[in-house]
Amino acid sequence: MSNANVYPPSAEFSAQAYVPSLEAYRALYDKAKENPEEFWGALAREQLHWFEPFDQVFEWNPPFVKWFSGGKTNASYNCLDRHLSTARKNKVAILWEGEPGDQRMISYQELHRLVCRFANVLKARGLQAGDRAIIYMPMVPELPVAMLACARLGITHSVVFGGFSAEALKARIQDLEAQIVITADGGWRRGREIRLKDAVDEALRECPSVRDCIVYKRTGGHVQMQAGRDFWWHELEESASETCPATPLDSEHPLFVLYTSGTTGKPKGILHTTAGYLLQTTMTMKWVFDLKEEDTYWCTADIGWVTGHSYIVYGPLSAGATTLMYEGAPDYPAFDRFWRIVEKYRVNIFYTSPTAIRALLRQGDHWPNQHDLSSLRLLGSVGEPINPAAWEWYHRVIGKGRCPIVDTWWQTETGAILIAPMPGAVPLKPGSGTLPMPGILPEIVDLDGKPVGENKEGFLVIQRPWPSMLRTIWRDPQRYKEQYWGKVSGVYFTGDAARRDSDGYYWILGRVDDVMNVSGHRLSTMEVESALVRHPAVAEAAVVGKPHEITGQAVCCFVTLKKGDYDHEALGKELRQWVAHEIGAFARPEEIRFTEALPKTRSGKIMRRLLREIVTSHTVTGDVTTLEDMGVITKLAAQHDED
């Protein structure tokens, strides 16, 4: 292995792992590469329940694909009914904690009953296969209940993150032409009630397609109910039957549409269908998370994001896991809320974002050290590349040096994890996603599609279709073609820059537009950010290129600091020198700006695009609906004007 910091799996971990060695991984990978039809066909037959068998594994008419044609299945049946004839029927399916501390433990049998009852509620409102539902709820168990009830009947759902504004909600309802909105009075976040029904009322003024609005009572806050349109969940459910057979649906039936912010300002609806998506999320639960029957598994994402769909609801429940859900913020009422939950429920697998890791690292080791984290056996990271310094902290302080870290690369569009270590097989390198999953053929190319070779930066593409990939952009196949298949001919363009080292490990360098060109040097913003956060004073950094008349682009850094007193002027000089020392003089930042917070999406990604707009045009014009706190951008823009 060509890297000083390599962490091989322990003999104990490998001995009980789903994939126990590098040889076993390679055999699996080669099998999928050489005969994908046989590989995926066998897995689909063995891992999923079918009402009617499929007759063709995949049909590829670039850039459109169909998987498991002719087959009939149902995602809700696979997540629930098939477990009821096994010992899992009384196993906890959803382990839930609300922010105020309330708890629920819902078995597979109980979850099945709740889903059937709510599916009957939807049926009674006249909804059927092919209709569309918008789900806008807090992180309560009724959110997955609503998703699985929709999936049971073939109603295509679109979950809208509960932190989105009425305006963002309206755009999504209109684009989907949804017939129903499923919501709640509100939810809890940092001790405050987030009022959801008010936002729905505002949005529905301009959404003529919506006939019904079902409201779950969570906070008990006062809400307006419009007669004939709005109904309380608990009232409709009282008389609903607990028997509701799952509808056999075509393999390619649209399961959900998930909106992701587009650069054009119009959100784009990523469409995922049923069988292929379910198969790949189920398999990655085993390959990546090495799921065991007795595990308590916790993914901290919000279900409003793809991570929550794939790795809180569909993947874990299809694989028969106990999936933990938490309603609130990681720092409420104190910075140890995550560690308190891990200790309380004896969590074995913990999957979170680099942003959360860095935010918690910033508060100091005493928070996690107050808790018994010995139940943990596997850690995961998702959302953006994790910088080596945060990886090392996560490994040392949270995993106590014993837990492998699965650093996962995937996207809303890919549906499931595509690059990640199999923890019992693959030696880890901090900061690398390591190796591709079976059936995934990545390459790193230039814009002409030519492979760039070892240790060179280029565009990450995927050369062959995979079961969980997006099928199109909702009602915009042209945009799908251009955006994902038109940039480099014949392959899926991920929009990420990457390099592959001499061991074949992939290093994701961030979005393509997060690559700067400084005096002819291609420089990834990720590289500079990683260098900055290695400095003991820095908690988090975001780096963008700004126009420069001499060098083409100059490096501009936005930095948040760990707790302490600093002389900003002296520290700014020190950090510029530090980056020059770590990467090279050409990478020396022209500008370091200290800020209390960075602009982030609600899933925790830093919105470098907005920072780029501030340093280039001094204004922000792009889509900001996914931004968590508009105040951060307003402050940064004002600060820029003062400079």
Confidence (pLDDT) at 146 = 98
| pLDDT over 90 at 289, yes or no | yes
User: Each residue of 545-560: pLDDT tens digit?
Assistant: 888 766 678 899 999 9
- How many other CB atoms are there within 10 angstroms of residue 121's CB atom? 25
Residues 343/372, Cβ–Cβ less than 8 Å: yes
- Give the Cα separation of 327 and 335 in Å (integer): 15
| pLDDT over 80 at 602, yes or no | no
Average pLDDT over residues 312-337: 96
pLDDT tier at 612 (50, 70, 90 boundaries)?
confident
User: Each residue of 65-79: pLDDT tens digit?
Assistant: 999 999 999 999 999
Confidence (pLDDT) at 358 = 87
- Two tokens, residue 348: 């074995």
Average pLDDT over residues 565-592: 89
Distances (CA, A) of 418 to 26, 260, 513: 15, 19, 21
- How many other CB atoms are there within 10 angstroms of residue 352's CB atom? 23
Q: What is the enclosing helix (H) or strand (E) of 182?
A: strand 180-184
Distances (CA, A) of 502 to 1, 3, 471, 499, 505: 8, 10, 34, 10, 7
- Give the Cα separation of 115 and 286 in Å (integer): 25
User: Each residue of 189-217: pLDDT tens digit?
Assistant: 999 999 999 999 999 999 999 999 999 99
Map out the domains of the chain as residue ranges: 114-248, 443-504, 515-642
Average pLDDT over residues 489-501: 94
Could you write out the DSSP letters of every residue in 346-386? T-SEEEE-HHHHHHHHHT-THHHHTS--TT--EEEE-SSPP
- CATH number for the 515-642 domain, one of 1.20.120.1730, 3.40.50.1000, 3.30.300.30, 3.40.640.10? 3.30.300.30
Pick the more confident residue, 218 or 509: 218
Residues 409/417, Cβ–Cβ less than 8 Å: yes
Could you write out the DSSP letters of every residue in 69-126? ET-EE-HHHHHTGGGTTSGGGGSEEEEEE-TTS-EEEEEHHHHHHHHHHHHHHHHHTT
| pLDDT over 80 at 582, yes or no | no
516 phi, psi to nearest 5 deg: -105, 160
Q: What percent of the chain has pLDDT over 70?
A: 95
pLDDT tier at 522 (50, 70, 90 boundaries)?
low
User: Each residue of 357-404: pLDDT tens digit?
Assistant: 988 998 999 999 999 999 999 999 998 888 899 999 999 999 999 999
Average pLDDT over residues 323-336: 95
pLDDT tier at 263 (50, 70, 90 boundaries)?
very low
Average pLDDT over residues 435-452: 96
- How many other CB atoms are there within 10 angstroms of residue 134's CB atom? 25
- 443-504 belongs to which homologous superfamily? Luciferase; Domain 3 (2.30.38.10)
pLDDT tier at 457 (50, 70, 90 boundaries)?
confident
Pick the more confident residue, 573 or 520: 573
User: Each residue of 116-140: pLDDT tens digit?
Assistant: 999 999 999 999 999 999 999 999 9
Kindly report the CA angle at 117 between 273 and 105, in degrees rounded to 5?
A: 90
| pLDDT over 50 at 282, yes or no | yes
Confidence (pLDDT) at 615 = 86
Confidence (pLDDT) at 264 = 45
475 phi, psi to nearest 5 deg: 60, 25
- How many other CB atoms are there within 10 angstroms of residue 384's CB atom? 21
Q: What percent of the chain has pLDDT over 90?
A: 79
Could you write out the DSSP letters of every residue in 1-58? ---S--BPPPHHHHHT-SS-SHHHHHHHHHHHHH-HHHHHHHHHHHHS--SB--SEEE
Q: Does the bond joining 427 to the residue before it have cis omega, within 30 degrees of 0?
A: no
Confidence (pLDDT) at 531 = 85
pLDDT tier at 625 (50, 70, 90 boundaries)?
low
Domain over 114-248 is classified CATH 3.40.50.980 = yes
For the chain, how big is the Rg over CA atoms in Å?
Answer: 24
Pick the more confident residue, 404 or 630: 404
Please name the amino acid found at residue 60: W
**pLDDT averaged over the chain?**
92
Confidence (pLDDT) at 641 = 56
